[in-house]
Homo-oligomer: A and B are copies of this chain.
Amino acid sequence: MGLIVQKFGGSSVADADRIRNVARIITETYRRGHKVVAVLSAQGDTTDDLIAKAAEINPNASKREMDMLLSTGEQISCSLCAMAIEAMGYPVISLTGWQAGFRTNSAYGDARIKRVDVERVLTELDKNTIVIVTGFQGINKYDDITTLGRGGSDTSAVALAAVLQADLCQIFTDVDGVYTADPRHVTGARMLEEITYDEMLELATLGAQVLHNRSVEMAKRYGVNLEVLSSFSGKPGTKVKEVAKTMEKLHVSGVACDKNVARLAVVGLPDEPGIAFKIFSLMAKENVNVDIILQSIGRHNTKDISFTVGKQDMERAKQALEARKEALGFDHVDVNDAIAKVSIVGAGMIHNPGVAAKMFEALYNAAINIHMIATSEIKISVLVDLSEADRAAQVIHDRFFHEVGVQ
């Protein structure tokens, strides 16, 4: 008996049958005695259809009007889901973002939630009504409709769960939970029962696209118990919480593979203080997100600085650097986007120095060359050739999960 927030993504509400399935999950939770708030995304193709309609009329439409347009998607899926629950005989009401009290800043298309005024939601819950809320949207101080950008519905659900102090926030997706590696590419990948927020954050950043970082960060900040699970299988999923029960005996919780990586090497920089600052403040100005950074000694009293960026930023980063070649005083910029980043993540890792050695050994045995290495408290990442990425993830996974039993 508690309060549960459930979030369903676009593929979970794609058509009438799937909406009925979602209605079943919600009402089963309700019948077990819980209060339920469900946060829904727009139906599968709706958002794309609306974007196409807009593009036909104005490819450069203002973000304000795009949000006005796109926010209808969730309003449609939510009212339809409420109708499905009505048909099953349960009390239910659907609420838009503004009706549910989502107040955001004014960054149309990528707004941040400032607060959630949950009076209306609480009133409905007090009446024992199931509440269906549009994800991904809110209103700003002008009462104009905003959307939250990528992963927005997850963030809506976690924010509601935080403000309502929900006992659990379940994120229903089309996968069963969080895996030790991408099961589409790595055989033997297993689902995790539990994982910490930090591990989840590292996995999300590293390309495991189950939960958006913003929602995990918010869940960590407000201590929201998350569960990632499938809306199709009906099986328990992966719990994301502050300290996972099994953390002590678990060194590595997962292997992630990110293929959207490009590496830039700025070669022959003068060996003087402030050069790294100059390069990365330039990248920040160009709005390029930099990931792994590596600095090495070059020939003739110079140094080289290499770093990775998303593939989409590679050309922009290169041009910005070359436009300042004289001021920075380097020799040339070398780029490579035929690479991938393979990482292992685990909360206990830092206390087990053998983990890194084991990872490198697995790659060495498979004759996979490592271009760069980066480590943090809970992860070790290596850059390898793109063509070797899946094999690298596989041999690392085999090494950690087939020899050491997980859970």
Which residues of A line the B interface, CB within 8 A?
16, 19-20, 50, 53-54, 56-58, 60-62, 64-66, 68-69, 71-72, 75-76, 78-80, 82-84, 86-87, 93-94, 96, 99, 120, 143-145
Contact = CB atoms under 8 A, between A and B. Distances in A.
12 contacts: A50-B76, A54-B79, A54-B83, A58-B87, A61-B86, A61-B87, A65-B79, A65-B94, A72-B75, A72-B76, A75-B75, A99-B143
Main secondary structure, interface of A, reads helix
B16 A57 contact: yes
B72 A57 contact: no
Shortest Cβ-Cβ A-B pairs, 7 listed: A72-B72, A69-B79, A58-B83, A61-B83, A58-B87, A68-B79, A16-B56
Contact of A69 (B50, B75, B93, B144): B75
A57 B20 contact: yes
A69 B76 contact: yes
A75 B83 contact: no
A72 B72 CA distance: 5
Contacts of A72: 72, 75-76
How many copies the complex holds: the figure is: 2
A177 to B, nearest CB: 29
A117 to B, nearest CB: 12
Contacts of A96: 68, 145
A82 B64 CA distance: 10
B87 A78 contact: no
Contact of A57 (B58, B62, B71, B87): B87
The winner among A62, A80, A93 for most chain B CB atoms within 10 A is A80
A80 to B, nearest CB: 5
A73 to B, nearest CB: 8
A20 to B, nearest CB: 7
A91 to B, nearest CB: 10
Contacts of A80: 53-54, 57, 69
A87 B57 CA distance: 8
Contacts of A143: 99, 120
A76 B61 CA distance: 14
A304 to B, nearest CB: 46
Contacts of A58: 83-84, 86-87
A179 to B, nearest CB: 33
A68 B20 CA distance: 18
A65 B86 contact: yes
A86 B62 contact: yes
Given A62-B86, A68-B79, 14 more contacts: A16-B53, A20-B57, A57-B83, A57-B84, A58-B86, A61-B83, A61-B86, A64-B93, A65-B82, A66-B79, A68-B75, A68-B82, A69-B80, A71-B75
